[in-house]
Amino acid sequence: MLTIRTITEHLLQNRLALTSYIYSVTRNFHLAEDVFQEVCVKAVSQQHNFETRDHLSMWFRVSARNRAIDVIRAREGQYVGLSEDMLGLIEKNWDQAGDPHREKLMDSLRDCLATLTPRSQRIVKLRYFENRPGREVAELMGQKVESAYQAIARIHRILGDCISQKLGTETR
């Protein structure tokens, strides 16, 4: 049986991967964060059920997936995301898909995002964290659609160059 401390440490150490998994279900960063926190609380309250960290991770993904779908159905009346079969495949292969350089890549991305101008950070937030389409990003930023797409492309290049520099590799 895992201790509360072990459960908490494991979930916090794997927060990025677990939240990313939840995001693949919700397609909404804020909802993924909410579901992550809710399922963490549930995991701690059920500590006696977990024998190993792997058992905890598998339980967490299933519980988070189910909770996310329930929340989306309650809000929107239906879940129109990935099919149950696709979610099952993702879940089954999630641990096997790990790249040993992923954490370094994610740290580099986080650092590079912090170097963007406040305007560029807002565009990234609107487009990728709030899932807003390019047309809506343009409206919210007070620019033409073409300008918004050019800004997004420029941000991609800046981030790609920054990450390449941090990792010491070429992406082109």
How confident is the model at residue 15, as a pLDDT?
Answer: 86
The half-sphere exposure of 69 on its side-chain side, counting CA atoms within 13 A, is 13
**pLDDT beneath 70, residues of the chain:** 78-103, 169-172
Domain 102-167 CATH assignment equals 1.20.140.160: yes
Model confidence, pTM: 0.54
Residue ranges of domains in the chain: 4-97, 102-167
Written as one string, the DSSP assignment of 23-88 is: HHHHS-HHHHHHHHHHHHHHHHHTGGG-SSHHHHHHHHHHHHHHHHHHHHHHHHSS--SS-HHHHH
Distance CA 169, CA 94 (A): 26
Query: 162 with 147: CB under 8 angstroms?
Result: no
CA distances from 26 to 29, 146, 155 (A): 8, 28, 25
Query: 60 with 42: CB under 8 angstroms?
Result: no
Distance CA 35, CA 3 (A): 22
How confident is the model at residue 172, as a pLDDT?
Answer: 42
**Scanning the structure block, which residue is given the tokens 């620019």?**
143
pLDDT tens digits, 146-161:
999 899 999 988 988 8
How confident is the model at residue 25, as a pLDDT?
Answer: 83
